[in-house]
Structure 1
Amino acid sequence: MVESVIERSRSRSRSHECKSESHERVGCRVLYVPPELTGVLIGRGGESINAMCRETGARIEVAREDAGAADRPVTITGSPEAVDRAVRAVKKIVDSEKRPPQEQRKVMQVAGAFVGMIIGRGGENVKAMSRESGAKIEVSRDDGDRDADRNVTITGTAESIEKATQLIEDVIGNRAGASDDDRSDAEALPDPPPGFEVSEHEEWLFNAKTEEFFNKKTGAFAWLNTSTGMFCPIREGVRHDDLELISGTAVAVASSDNKSAPKTVVIPDLHRVAQALKAPFDHVDAPASMIGVFGCSAGDGPGVPVDQAARTFHERLVRRIASWRSAWFDQAWFGALTGAMMDVAGENGVLPLAAVALLVGRKVIAASAPGARACLMAGASSDACTAVVPMEVNGSVCCFQQLPATSPGVADTLCIPIALIAGVSTLDDNVTCASVSRSLFQRRPRAAAVALLRAARQAGSAGPLAAATACLGGRKVLVAEESPDVGRKAVKEKMKQSKVRVRQILLRFWSGKGAQPINPVTRKPITRKVEEAEVQMLDVLDKLLAENSANFACICKALSECGSAMRGGADNGDLGWLDQAKVAALAKAKGQPGGPKSVVQSSVPVAVVKVAFELEKGELSDLVVSELGVHLVQRTG
């Protein structure tokens, strides 16, 4: 008798036997079927039960559902032979639908650093644990990131799963394993590194300076997750020395004394910030940088002041990243950014009007609160560049992009363009991408930021705006001016050069404070604001790039507001030779009284000098802003 069917035979005396009109003997049997199987027994529209009646010659009736009954009675009547056939048919259907009890299954998430301990050499450890526990243990394959957490799937009975779990936790040090007395004398414990002392946790030594734990049995380094009480492996960050971040910002405000003017923040090295905060950060890949734009909320609510948000956001972000010292999943980075925004919002819960991009190793993660916009782009060139599709996380719009690992000499052709804007703007990602991609692929981020503001103005944005653009890509490699066969020697000589010759176009601006500057060429006062000067210089840059700088001298004579514009001919805008040694002496003597008399104030701003020594011969610079105005520089010698 199958377990799913409970049969009760009704013995009837000869006097109670049912007889048909032909006086044949009639049998009657009742089977009790689990209610979940009666639907299969009856079939759609009674199709199954009617077919059984025709095939067996018996009458089969399923009782109506009774809320108080555990099983449903199925009454079978007919000749003894027909009843037997019907009983077998019903049992066959019930048996075919019967499911064996499913094995239980448990999935553990284990840090990548501990996977080798679990598997063992040639799989010895995992096989031994399977034999000892009686459960099946499977470790998921890695996806190329050895530090990422891995899934360990345990299948078996509840008892075997519990035993296997205990064995795995013993291996990774989360549960007390065998005592020291159980070890053979031949087994040597790992030597503790200096700085580690006995802690309240029996198996772990603790270094108060680094806040790290050392397992006396396994030699593993870990940090204690106080929220769960679990020890987690400490990840070692990877340096990507082939990458660099170039960034530029631009701000457009209605007036210079606007206290709620938007702000831009660029933190090129978050590791230094963490060091200043005494926060652990060695688990984070390098380079690690942050760029952000912060604006004033357009609503009437008690939003976070712009200065406060811009001043404190990077600290909140660093502390969040420092609080988890194991490997980070890509989705977790979204939580770090949006969580930092909520930290800045504080008790009032109003998110700051901000767009922030976090760059960690080869990854870029961006998030923007309502009123701001973050756009990441992908593509091998400006013509093929498209915006990455964003997603919503914790009330913010987030996006993610990763730069693939490439061989040397190839990485410098790939990059991730980034665009951020804060303020009332109607730009969509397609317009943003079209506005900034060309300048970013040319590695002129300031020009890209100005182009983004120009596009926002053309789209009807009239209020204060802040834009920041950046590009994560391969480091710029100096190219030898000599023939290719000179090779590395020429590159080294170029890097050692101490003098360069440049020319410039200068457009001055007035901040609205202090003495109004005078154009030395026309002797007229300057009235334009910095936004106007930058947009005008962007138009000049676009024209020179289109003409391969052929009319630099002519444009300089017509527009430049520098005395060098009147030199005449091809020398228009020429600043002469800049000496790196003299510039260094000026920088060292700046602000120091009693310096050598030969050191005089340079007429060339430091920002221009810095850019000059980064240019190739004939190359045009990005837009450069100094205390004099907006510069466009070209190296000529």
Structure 2
Amino acid sequence: MHFSILDSEESKNIAVVHKTNQGYSGKDLWKLKQERPELFGVAPAAQNGKPAPPGFEQLREMPGWMYHKDKALYFQRESGLLYCRDSSTNELYELHQGEDYSGTLTVRGDAATVAAKGQASRNVIINDLHRAASSMKLDFSHHDSPAAMFAVYDATGCSNDQAEAAAKGLHMQLLPRLASYRDRWQNDRLEGALAEAIEHLRTEIAPESGIALAVALLLGGRLTMAATGGAVCMIFGQVGQSDGNVDNLEVVGSETTEPRTHCAVLEDSHLGALLTVNSVRSSGLSAARMRALARSHTMGDRPRAGCVSLLEEAQKAGAQPPLVAAAVRFSWSRNQTVKKQRTDPSNLTKVRCRHLLLRYVGCQAPLGDRRKKPTRSSGDAELQILRILPEVAHGGAAAFTKKCKELSECDTAMKSGDLAGDLGWLDKDPAKNRKVPAAVVRAAFLLAVGQVSDLVSSERGIHLILRTA
């Protein structure tokens, strides 16, 4: 007589099921599944009848609770709710799900710089913090949308390496802090996290001198601002609102290394935000004038042009490079459906556009190009396009054609009539447009038909784009 010995875990489970199944008919296996779900690889059902989310395991030390190790989440069987543990207090709190306000508010920022010999201030524009957090494998779902961060870093008084390290390091310090607490964040907690990230960055990079910077953190309908070293972050409203409270919101960094912070609740009267450094603020330009310069172009969805305009006037007033400024555009609508269908790249597969190109020293020339090498700097190219921008933006296709034929340094300018500057149909995937810089493709997909773009920088030069279809 031979006996089989059950050694494997699988065999033991089979034996247990066989023993436990005694007294059940085949049609009654559902009873066994409810009483002993672990035998079937199914998580126990909550008392309210809802199954536990996948990946949760029973906690012996906490009856009625389950835990997901990878997500660090607790599931309460009675309520069916998810909880997190506060690392500072060791207490459980309910997991918060962020609200999506992107149907009401959309945001886009850009920046401009003026370098000095051997020195360049920095800027960081992160238009989607949820995507940035995901790339760092951080859970950001408890924060509202849209979520973005804009920052400028002053190279005056520090080395290029320190300014570069600050630009690369602040969001790396900030995002893990924002991801660590998954309840709804109060204003003071946001201010504290931003100040803490700046302080930690200072101790790592420049513990004695500090780093002069201005930061704007957007989470849903709230903008948390911080500044150090004389830099400034300010909110501005529509034209004609400079006498009200809208244009009075600003955070100016003290001369010490300690950051000043403020969390503001945005309203639809807010048009945008401006960030710049002490050299610009101390040039003699008033806060009202700085707002007006940024507003003049930002209201037309051209924040970079607003920054170029501000830095040009600051230099005329005596500001010395290195300089940097960033501008942010808040677009408000109660019904963004039509606009999203028109401008959201996910809803478009192809667009057609024309462009005007000015080349600068160091930019790439197409193979076989026999044009005279440019002698202007990238900054000079930006200023030249800035001066024709009002005429082109308000003059329609005819004005664009005229300036394209007069100034553009691309062979497409030689095309006849309204095809001057035509780039043809562009695919949403930049890789499929081998002859067109990726920056131009991305900018084209943000435009409505008939709209003129912001200043666009690529390896070929500075572009101005008109979407035609």
Q: Do both share a fold (TM > 0.5)? A: yes
1:174-573 alignment, distance < 5 Å: 193-194=53-54, 195-198=56-59, 204-215=65-76, 219-242=80-103, 243-255=105-117, 258=118, 260-298=119-157, 305-346=162-203, 348=207, 350-377=209-236, 379=237, 381-384=238-241, 386-390=246-250, 395-404=258-267, 416-422=271-277, 424-425=279-280, 426=282, 427-474=285-332, 498=350, 500=352, 502-511=353-362, 523-545=371-393, 547=395, 551-567=399-415, 570-571=417-418, 573=420
In structure 2, stretches of 5+ residues that fail to align are 1-45
| Alpha carbons 1:518, 1:524 under 8 Å: kept | no
Q: CA deviation at 1:313?
A: 0.9
| Alpha carbons 1:562, 1:573 under 8 Å: kept | no
Per-residue CA deviation, residues 403-438 of structure 1 (Å, 9 max, x unaligned), is 34xxxxxx7xx6540111236222443222111112
The structure-2 alpha-carbon separation of the partners of 1:496 and 1:237, relative to structure 1 and needing over 3 Å to count, comes to closer
Tell me, in whole angstroms, the C-alpha distance in 1 between the residues paired with 2:290 and 2:96.
Answer: 37
Q: Secondary structure at the match of 1:424?
A: helix
Tell me, in whole angstroms, the C-alpha distance in 2 between the residues paired with 1:392 and 1:535.
Answer: 28
Aligned twin of 2:4: none
Structure 2 residue 450 is the aligned partner of structure 1 residue 625? no
> What is the total number of aligned residue pairs between the two structures?
406
Q: CA deviation at 1:562?
A: 2.4
Q: Which has the higher mean CA deviation after the structures are superposed, 264-273 or 556-565?
A: 556-565
Match of 1:579 among 425, 429, 435: 425
Tell me, in whole angstroms, the C-alpha distance in 2 between the residues paired with 1:636 and 1:273.
Answer: 32
Q: CA deviation at 1:614?
A: 4.0
Q: Secondary structure at the match of 2:202?
A: helix
Q: Secondary structure at the match of 2:217?
A: strand
| Alpha carbons 1:262, 1:422 under 8 Å: kept | no
Tell me, in whole angstroms, the C-alpha distance in 2 between the residues paired with 1:205 and 1:363.
Answer: 34
The structure-2 alpha-carbon separation of the partners of 1:477 and 1:444, relative to structure 1 and needing over 3 Å to count, comes to farther
Tell me, in whole angstroms, the C-alpha distance in 2 between the residues paired with 1:204 and 1:273.
Answer: 32
Per-residue CA deviation, residues 235-276 of structure 1 (Å, 9 max, x unaligned), is 111122313221212121124xx3x42222122222233233
Q: Which has the larger radius of gyration?
A: 1
Per-residue CA deviation, residues 370-398 of structure 1 (Å, 9 max, x unaligned), is 14221122x3x334355242357993233
| Alpha carbons 1:556, 1:572 under 8 Å: kept | no
Per-residue CA deviation, residues 269-323 of structure 1 (Å, 9 max, x unaligned), is 2223323333332211122111211222426xx9981121111111111111122
| Alpha carbons 1:297, 1:371 under 8 Å: kept | no
TM-score, length-normalised on structure 2?
Answer: 0.75
Q: Secondary structure at the match of 2:168?
A: helix
Aligned twin of 1:179: none
The structure-2 alpha-carbon separation of the partners of 1:629 and 1:188, relative to structure 1 and needing over 3 Å to count, comes to closer
Q: Which amino acid aligns with 2:145?
A: A
Q: Secondary structure at the match of 1:213?
A: strand
Q: CA deviation at 1:216?
A: 5.3
Q: CA deviation at 1:464?
A: 0.9
Q: CA deviation at 1:202?
A: 6.4
TM-score, length-normalised on structure 1?
Answer: 0.56
| Alpha carbons 1:510, 1:516 under 8 Å: kept | no
In structure 1, stretches of 5+ residues that fail to align are 1-186, 405-410, 481-487, 591-600
Q: Which amino acid aligns with 2:421?
A: D
| Alpha carbons 1:615, 1:621 under 8 Å: kept | yes
| Alpha carbons 1:423, 1:463 under 8 Å: kept | no
Q: Secondary structure at the match of 2:279?
A: coil
Q: Which amino acid aligns with 1:419?
A: L
Q: Which amino acid aligns with 1:539?
A: R
The structure-2 alpha-carbon separation of the partners of 1:633 and 1:515, relative to structure 1 and needing over 3 Å to count, comes to closer
| Alpha carbons 1:199, 1:206 under 8 Å: kept | no
1:140-159 alignment, distance < 5 Å: none
1:19-98 alignment, distance < 5 Å: none
The structure-2 alpha-carbon separation of the partners of 1:391 and 1:221, relative to structure 1 and needing over 3 Å to count, comes to same
Q: Secondary structure at the match of 1:470?
A: strand
Q: Which amino acid aligns with 1:525?
A: K
Per-residue CA deviation, residues 81-108 of structure 1 (Å, 9 max, x unaligned), is xxxxxxxxxxxxxxxxxxxxxxxxxxxx
Tell me, in whole angstroms, the C-alpha distance in 2 between the residues paired with 1:306 and 1:208.
Answer: 39
Q: Which amino acid aligns with 1:221?
A: L
| Alpha carbons 1:304, 1:351 under 8 Å: kept | no
The structure-2 alpha-carbon separation of the partners of 1:519 and 1:527, relative to structure 1 and needing over 3 Å to count, comes to farther
1:588-627 alignment, distance < 5 Å: 588=432, 601-602=434-435, 604-627=436-459
The structure-2 alpha-carbon separation of the partners of 1:375 and 1:268, relative to structure 1 and needing over 3 Å to count, comes to same
Per-residue CA deviation, residues 452-504 of structure 1 (Å, 9 max, x unaligned), is 22232222112111222112324766579xxxxxxx9x999xx667453x433
The structure-2 alpha-carbon separation of the partners of 1:200 and 1:307, relative to structure 1 and needing over 3 Å to count, comes to farther
The structure-2 alpha-carbon separation of the partners of 1:454 and 1:518, relative to structure 1 and needing over 3 Å to count, comes to farther
Q: Which has the higher contact order (CA 8 A, sep 6+)?
A: 2
Aligned twin of 1:62: none
Tell me, in whole angstroms, the C-alpha distance in 2 between the residues paired with 1:528 and 1:510.
Answer: 6
Tell me, in whole angstroms, the C-alpha distance in 2 between the residues paired with 1:571 and 1:416.
Answer: 34
